[in-house]
Amino acid sequence: LQALENIQLDLEAVNIKAGKAFLRLKRKFIQMRRPFLERRDLIIRHIPGFWVKAFLNHPKISILINRRDEDIFRYLTNLQVQDLRHISMGYKMKLYFQTNPYFTNMVIVKEFQRNRSGRLVSHSTPIRWHRGQEPQARRHRNQDTNHSFFIWFSNHSLPEADRIAEIIKNDLWVNPLRYYMMGEGVVRSWASERQTLERPSCFRFWIQ
Amino acid sequence: LQALENIQLDLEAVNIKAGKAFLRLKRKFIQMRRPFLERRDLIIRHIPGFWVKAFLNHPKISILINRRDEDIFRYLTNLQVQDLRHISMGYKMKLYFQTNPYFTNMVIVKEFQRNRSGRLVSHSTPIRWHRGQEPQARRHRNQDTNHSFFIWFSNHSLPEADRIAEIIKNDLWVNPLRYYMMGEGVVRSWASERQTLERPSCFRFWIQ
């Protein structure tokens, strides 16, 4: 058993080294992507309605966006998905909004990270709805709000199985242009051709 | 839009580079751990009943192991958790058994990996139960088998939320000695003291 314990200590040392090396590599690529992402941000901000179009054109996200969400998304000016730099796994998505008649937040954030026991947990900015605009208050009037981007946003019941978060992080955010373009008649064939290409597995490294 | 497309191409190049770098690093640490794991294997094989004890002492796994599973686990000679080397995320756990009265397999494997669309999927070796030993056939006789390690093993309905697989991979496999020792009166205080220490986050790098 003593020999076994010594091996465990050796393994633990390797694991600590591995943890540090992976974190270093993750930070290096965050750094490498930054200038491109900043330029992308800048360009997108000059294309009105870019994000609402990209969201609505995504076949797996659009089903979550009801007509009222769509109205709200017209005030969406920016989306950012960021790795948490200080830990091995974790990220947050930030949605920036213009002043709008629905809620007072200018930015809402949903964050995913592992807690101490290794379980994935999520939390999000409480949305400060204007009076009468809360999805709950509106539900009895309009069944359409039963599926809603904002209900998903504020739901933290099963983050491990949160497909929507994964798609936003690993697909929409990785190449929003692809989805923005999907509506354009001229480039439709080009876009759909690109879309059917097998997505390289490296996309999953976007956010480690 | 042309500028945006160029930036996307630049980002894609960074992502491909990142994917390769992470895979290289992962392989490097698989390599570094190997000699320690081989020695650990060898020592454990000379401690009869090591794995059944480690499994049963783990507070979060033992609840899954019913009395019949416990009998079956007495034939368990080895556990191995291995990264899939060729892809960024994916692993398999192998359980080796001696000849036993329950099933004919000498080794059963449960594997987790991302499919092309990025979804985590699992599959496992079909267990070739001896006639009358199938958990299904026994269920009406013994309600105890409703929770069962082997029912979990063959269940692939929600791999993203598979806590048991995560615990085996990131905790039991990382330090089985800790759980093997937990039953020992003499070292109980030592073991539980170690156990309550916050687990360093690097453990999550064990299997990337």
Which of the pair, B56 or A197, is modelled with greater confidence?
A: B56
The beta-carbon neighbor of B7 closest among A29, A39, A118 is A39
At which of B13, B30, B46 does a domain end? Answer: B46
- Partners of B17 on chain A (C-beta within 8 Å) are 29, 32
CA distance A132 to chain B (A): 36
**Domain identity same for B107 and B17:** no
**Domain identity same for B64 and B136:** yes
Q: Do A18 and B119 touch (CB under 8 A)?
A: no
* Window from A15-24, B74-83, B159-168 with minimum mean pLDDT: B159-168
Give the pLDDT confidence of B2-45 residue by residue, as tens digits: 999 999 999 999 999 999 999 999 999 999 999 999 999 999 99
Q: Do A16 and B114 touch (CB under 8 A)?
A: no
**Domain identity same for A79 and A22:** no
Give the pLDDT confidence of B176-206 residue by residue, as tens digits: 999 999 866 544 444 444 443 333 333 333 3
**Domain identity same for B69 and B138:** yes
The answer to whether the CB of B135 falls within 8 A of the CB of B47 is no
- How much is the pLDDT for B142? 52
**Domain identity same for A21 and A90:** no
B160 near A CB under 8 A: yes
A192 near B CB under 8 A: no
Give the pLDDT confidence of A45-104 residue by residue, as tens digits: 999 999 999 999 999 999 999 999 999 999 999 999 998 877 768 899 999 999 999 999
* CA distance to A18, A29, A161, B133, B170, per residue, from B203 (Å): 9, 22, 22, 37, 6
The answer to whether the CB of B153 falls within 8 A of the CB of B164 is no
Give the pLDDT confidence of B136-177 residue by residue, as tens digits: 655 555 555 468 999 999 999 888 878 899 899 989 999 999
Give the pLDDT confidence of A152-200 residue by residue, as tens digits: 999 998 888 788 998 999 899 999 999 999 866 544 444 444 443 333 3
- How much is the pLDDT for A201? 35
- Partners of B200 on chain A (C-beta within 8 Å) are 15-16, 19
pLDDT surpasses 60 at A149: yes
- How much is the pLDDT for A6? 95
A33 near B CB under 8 A: yes
- How much is the pLDDT for A161? 79
pLDDT surpasses 50 at A205: no
Give the pLDDT confidence of A116-126 residue by residue, as tens digits: 777 789 999 99
How does DSSP assign B160-178, residue by residue? GG-HHHHHIIIIITT-HHH
**Domain identity same for B40 and B88:** no
Place A26 in a pLDDT band, splitting at 50, 70 and 90.
very high
The answer to whether the CB of A82 falls within 8 A of the CB of A107 is no
Q: Do B205 and A88 touch (CB under 8 A)?
A: yes
CA distance A185 to chain B (A): 15
Q: Pick the most confident of A110-119, B102-111, B147-156.
A: B102-111
B190 near A CB under 8 A: no
Report ipTM (2 d.p.).
Answer: 0.80
Domain at A111, CATH number: 3.30.1120.90
Residue B200 φ/ψ, nearest 5 degrees: -60, 145
**Domain identity same for B120 and B42:** no
Structural domain span for residue A2: 1-46
